[in-house]
A = this chain, B = another copy of it.
Amino acid sequence: MKITGTFLDEISHDIPHQNWGREEWDRDFAHMKAVGIDTVILIRSGYRRFITYPSVYLQKTYGCYEPPVDLVKMYLELADKHGMNFYFGLYDSGHYWDSGDMQGEIDANRYVIDEVWQQYGHYKSFKGWYLSMEISRRTKGATDAFRTLGLQCKQVSNGLPTFISPWIDGKKAVMAASGQLTKDDAVSLQEHEKEWSEIFEGIHGAVDAVAFQDGHIDYHQLEEFFAVNKQMADRFGLQCWTNAESFDRDMPIKFFPIKFEKLRLKLEAARRAGYDKAITFEFSHFMSPQSAYLQAGHLYNRYKEYIQSL
What number of A residues sit within 8 Å (CB to CB) of B? 48
Contact B16 A177 (CB under 8 A): no
Contact of A259 with B by CB under 8 A = yes
CA distance A256 to B298 in the complex (A): 19
Given the interface pairs A14-B251, A15-B251, A292-B294, the reply to whether A265 lies near B177 with Cβ below 8 Å is no
CA distance A68 to B259 in the complex (A): 11
Query: Which residues between 214 and 256 of chain A lie within 8 Å of chain B, taking CB atoms?
Result: 219-220, 248, 251-256
Contact of A308 with B by CB under 8 A = no
Contact B253 A254 (CB under 8 A): yes
**Max chain B C-beta neighbours (<10 A), residue from A251, A256, A265:** A251
Q: How far is the CB of A219 from chain B (nearest CB, A)?
A: 7
Residues in B whose Cβ lies below 8 Å from that of A295: 16-19, 292
Q: Mark A254-278, 1 if CB is under 8 A from B, else 0.
A: 1111111100110000000000000
Contact of A67 with B by CB under 8 A = yes
Contact A298 B177 (CB under 8 A): no
Interface of chain A: mostly helix, strand, loop or mixed: loop
- A178 partner, pick from B14, B21, B179, beta carbons under 8 A: B179
Residues in B whose Cβ lies below 8 Å from that of A53: none
Contact B261 A68 (CB under 8 A): yes
Contact B248 A16 (CB under 8 A): yes
- A265 partner, pick from B12, B65, B251, beta carbons under 8 A: B65
- A253 partner, pick from B16, B291, B299, beta carbons under 8 A: B16
Contact of A181 with B by CB under 8 A = yes
Contact B302 A19 (CB under 8 A): yes
CA distance A255 to B252 in the complex (A): 8
Contact B179 A177 (CB under 8 A): yes
Query: Which residues between 5 and 22 of chain A lie within 8 Å of chain B, taking CB atoms?
Result: 12, 14-21
Residues in B whose Cβ lies below 8 Å from that of A67: 261
Residues in B whose Cβ lies below 8 Å from that of A212: none
Contact A65 B259 (CB under 8 A): no
Contact of A301 with B by CB under 8 A = yes
CA distance A291 to B67 in the complex (A): 26
A64's nearest neighbour on chain B, judged by CB, is B220
**Max chain B C-beta neighbours (<10 A), residue from A18, A21, A254:** A18
Residues in B whose Cβ lies below 8 Å from that of A301: 19, 21
Residues in B whose Cβ lies below 8 Å from that of A254: 252-253
Contact B260 A17 (CB under 8 A): yes
Contact of A24 with B by CB under 8 A = yes
Chain A residues packing against B (C-beta within 8 Å): 12, 14-21, 24, 49-50, 63, 65, 67-68, 176-181, 219-220, 248, 251-261, 264-265, 291-295, 298-299, 301-302, 305
| Subset of 23 A-B contacts with CB under 8 Å | A12-B251, A15-B251, A16-B256, A17-B257, A17-B258, A17-B260, A18-B294, A18-B295, A19-B295, A19-B301, A19-B302, A21-B301, A24-B298, A50-B261, A63-B220, A176-B252, A177-B252, A179-B179, A179-B180, A253-B255, A291-B294, A292-B298, A294-B294
